[in-house]
Structure 1
């Protein structure tokens, strides 16, 4: 399955990950001009939307993986975004250091982190603005993902399911 769009000219962020709000981090498997990012024991929970062998986390760190394209999502994939956002929100409320990551830490992780922030009480525009300010101005440049957020993920999931 193709998970990354090749037409993106946006440079990955300089940082491996950035703290978006206390306890909630957003990152990727790559960063600009550097070696691949490997997660060790910095986090209590790691939610991955893209996976590469050898990028961690090590055994003993709670890790969930869902393969996700950086493009149109199926009803089931939007459901996984909702599930991951629920896991992240629950972990943050419990004081657990949580990382949500994808390839470069811009779109797929941004979608999950934005919906996590909504679950934690922010509005969608505020969540998007916070992610772009804390992670990268290029975060959530996938306009379809922004539309999913603006519709609300439950609504986007239902509407996506109508086409199947």
Structure 2
């Protein structure tokens, strides 16, 4: 996995997106490695339309849940890397506020929504219960730890 993530990080840097991730992390007081890890899980850090046409851009902003963002921003249908990364960061930051700084819950909510995570927690289930493949949050946290190492190696 480390080699794959290294390739993704290199692609991100070559594409000119790494500074956008750095700025979004700074603006929203997030860990850079977490944003990269979400982008990695969502799209392998590619600027694509995914999820049967509903996920937009690097951070896969869902057009069913985030209509206002896609409608109100001049961002090429969600494919503008700068606005896409910043908006994804704002979603994660909001989730962190809702879940009082708990990254596992906030990341799971990035994938499945805050309501689904709250339902899981109230019933004593793991926050990943309703996420993609039942492991979204755990996988993102694992990727983040690897990205943290890779970033440190490249400094």
TM-score (norm 1): 0.30
TM-score for the superposition, normalised by structure 2: 0.31
